Amino acid sequence: MASEKTVTRSSYGLGKHGVVNTATQHWNLGAEALYEATVRRGLGTVTKGGALACQTGKYTGRSPNDKFILEEPKTKESIWWGKVNRPISQDRFDRLHTMLSVYLQNRDLYIQDLYAGADPAHRIKVRVVSESPWHALFARNMFIRPPAEDLANFVPDATILHAPFMNAVPERDGTNSECFVLADLARKLVLIGGTQYAGEIKKSVFGMMNYILPEKGVLPMHCSANIGQQGDVAVFFGLSGTGKTTLSADGTRTLIGDDEHGWSDNGVFNFEGGCYAKVINLSQEAEPEIYATTRRFGTILENVVFDPFTREVDLFDGSLAENTRASYPIDFIPNVEPTGMGGLPKNIVMLTADAFGVLPPISELTPDQAMYHFLSGYTARVAGTERGVTEPQATFSTCFGAPFMPRHPTVYAKMLGEKMAKTGARCWLVNTGWSGGQYGVGKRMSIQYTRAMLRAAIEGKLASVARVQDPNFGLLVPENCPDVPNDVLQPKTTWSDGSAYDETARNLRGLFQDNFKQFETDVSDDIKKAGIYAA
């Protein structure tokens, strides 16, 4: 007796999105079929070990100047308008929507119906419609795949129409370039065109969740999260390059997720079903779990160089992009929490890569300091990571994720403060950047030391250790830590020139003060005073 074929095509068709007269619709294909389509169309190459290498062309990262939010009555008053969230008019949005819908006619389309949010109480149903098979695989890797029985009657809450090979015309369409990323938060509709960088899909969904969840009392967070053997949950905030993905993938703890989470009254839950790890200069010795995914079928390697004959990938070659990435399902990492959920956090870790070399490698924050540093979202760029960057440059991205926060930062900061107060969670600032001098003089903090400090903090081994107050930032620095030399804990002692340290620290403190002026009218005096300290 023949088995009954599983129905993977939703009865809620593309016509509901204004997309009609398509050539062929490929619904919820698995990795094997999407690999075949990608290779057949010349959009990717299978590398040694089985990963799929794809290039994104001109755009090798997000394009923040090309992102717009529809200005319309239902959501207008709740958006944090400015450099991050730029408005686009209804007329221009509708015109590009129509053009994109027409463009998708007579094309092969790849549709993935997925979930964002592991907690059923707070998830949304997301549909990604793309002309590119490897971008469909990216969406399938990054979000949560519903059981097959849910696909036939899948009705999306949010939709992404993705046309990476369709270019806008700025003079005609009111965009800044040929690339456009447009969000209608009322209808939960995103239009993406003119860029092959897959991260735009992922971050568009994150931005949607960041708008939706605060009204439900859930704090959306740009963070990773893991669970200890005693059920204790830790969350890790941090911008790109600070070690968020690496440090949360700790073999002694169970990974919940590596990038985006919600904090509800019941606990923490992952938004995604995959990881999007930066892999430039990734080594097997330092990060074996992530390294292994770059040699595995199902992983997408973005802008990673490989030998055309042997197909061996070279993670140390940044000639295509510094921002090389690997996208893979989260279960490619061993020791993962299958539900994507955990309890209430006991520890909050804020990661920074201070290229000026003046912040302590670990310090505990008071609740007011935690709010200050959450709103600041500091790290530093170094030479080689971006064009024109030849010396350390301070970067402040509020809530450690400003480009993805549609609401005012104080909305998220207030929620963090309330949840910390309710749960008694402890907060740690960890500097994974430079020690013994700024970039070019000092050295990058040893990852072994960083791991030792984090484990000591999360396991409660620093609870009774005496603290020394940092004279520039008021941070509470432990005097000692297991498996870490005492002199490493005090940044000034690692510098050969103490006066140079003092001057650099004062300059960075000034940058913090200047950046925080934008929030001074929206926070309490205690929070304003918490970020700096003059002995």
pLDDT tens digits along 80-104? 999 999 999 999 999 999 999 999 9
Strands 345-352, 467-469: pairing is unpaired
Residues 108, 178, single domain; the answer is yes
Tell me if residue 362 falls in helix, strand or coil: strand
Residues 186, 239, single domain; the answer is no
Catalytic residue positions? Answer: 62, 203, 222, 240, 244-245, 259, 325
Residues 190, 241, single domain; the answer is no
Cβ-Cβ contacts under 8 Å for 11 (sequence gap 6 or more): 152, 153
Chain segment 510-532, per-residue pLDDT in tens:
999 999 999 999 999 889 888 76
- Asked, for residue 24, whether it belongs to a domain, the answer is yes
Residues 147, 223, single domain; the answer is no
For residue 534, pLDDT over 50 is answered with no
How many structural domains is the chain composed of? 2
pLDDT at 387: 42
For residue 34, pLDDT over 80 is answered with yes
Of 198, 216, 234, which closes a domain?
A: 216
- Asked, for residue 9, whether it belongs to a domain, the answer is no
E strand residue ranges, 7-82: 25-27, 45-46, 52-54, 67-70
- Asked, for residue 370, whether it belongs to a domain, the answer is yes
Of 199, 216, 233, which closes a domain?
A: 216
Residues 113, 225, single domain; the answer is no
Tell me what the mean pLDDT of segment 274-297 comes to: 92
Query: What is the percent of the chain where pLDDT is above 90?
Result: 88
Residues 129, 199, single domain; the answer is yes
Query: 62 and 200 in contact (C-beta within 8 Å)?
Result: yes
Strands 476-478, 219-227: pairing is unpaired
In degrees and rounded to multiples of 5, residue 487 shows phi and psi of: -70, -20
Residues 495, 352, single domain; the answer is yes
Residues 426, 451, single domain; the answer is yes
Tell me what the mean pLDDT of segment 404-410 comes to: 96
- Neighbour-count burial of 424, counting CB atoms closer than 10 A to its CB (0-12 exposed, 13-18 middle, 19+ buried): exposed
Tell me what the mean pLDDT of segment 56-76 comes to: 96
Q: What is the pTM of this model?
A: 0.93
DSSP-assigned states of every residue in 143-199: SBPPPGGGTTT---SEEEEEETTPPP-HHHH--SSS-EEEEETTTTEEEEES---TH
Query: What is the percent of the chain where pLDDT is above 70?
Result: 97
Average pLDDT, rounded, for the chain? 93
Chain segment 460-514, per-residue pLDDT in tens:
999 999 999 998 899 999 999 999 999 999 999 999 999 999 999 999 999 999 9
- Asked, for residue 20, whether it belongs to a domain, the answer is yes
Question: Which residue type does 509 have?
Answer: R
pLDDT at 533: 60
CATH number, domain of 79, equals 3.40.449.10
In degrees and rounded to multiples of 5, residue 33 shows phi and psi of: -65, -35
For residue 4, pLDDT over 60 is answered with no
CATH number, domain of 226, equals 3.90.228.20
Query: 14 and 27 in contact (C-beta within 8 Å)?
Result: no
Cα–Cα distance between 505 and 508 in angstroms, integer? 5
pLDDT at 364: 95
Residues 192, 258, single domain; the answer is no
Of 361, 351, 531, the residue nearest 436 (C-alpha): 361
pLDDT at 5: 59
More confident residue, 1 or 334: 334
Cα–chain center distance at 333: 17
Beta pairing partners, 90: none
Residue 137 domain boundaries: 16-41+62-216
At 386, the pLDDT band (50, 70, 90 cuts) reads very low
Of 90, 58, 64, the residue nearest 204 (C-alpha): 64
pLDDT at 6: 66
pLDDT at 392: 82
At 76, the pLDDT band (50, 70, 90 cuts) reads very high
Residues 224, 210, single domain; the answer is no
Query: 141 and 274 in contact (C-beta within 8 Å)?
Result: yes
Chain segment 110-157, per-residue pLDDT in tens:
999 999 999 999 999 999 999 999 999 999 999 999 999 999 999 999
Cα–Cα distance between 478 and 469 in angstroms, integer? 9
At 8, the pLDDT band (50, 70, 90 cuts) reads confident
pLDDT at 190: 98
Residues 148, 254, single domain; the answer is no
- Asked, for residue 274, whether it belongs to a domain, the answer is no
Query: 509 and 533 in contact (C-beta within 8 Å)?
Result: no
Which of these ranges, 34-48, 191-205, 373-387, has the smallest mean pLDDT? 373-387
- Asked, for residue 299, whether it belongs to a domain, the answer is no
pLDDT at 60: 95
Residue 403 tokens read as 């480009």
- Asked, for residue 515, whether it belongs to a domain, the answer is yes
Which of these ranges, 260-274, 309-323, 374-388, has the smallest mean pLDDT? 374-388
For residue 250, pLDDT over 90 is answered with no
| Sheet of strand 300-302, all strands in order from the earlier edge strand to the far edge | 45-46, 52-54, 300-302, 325-329, 274-278
Residues 99, 163, single domain; the answer is yes
- Asked, for residue 512, whether it belongs to a domain, the answer is yes
Tell me what the mean pLDDT of segment 392-412 comes to: 94
Of 182, 216, 250, which closes a domain?
A: 216
Cβ-Cβ contacts under 8 Å for 243 (sequence gap 6 or more): 351, 353, 432, 447, 450
Instruction: List C-alpha distances in Å: 151 to 37, 114, 199.
Output: 22, 9, 25
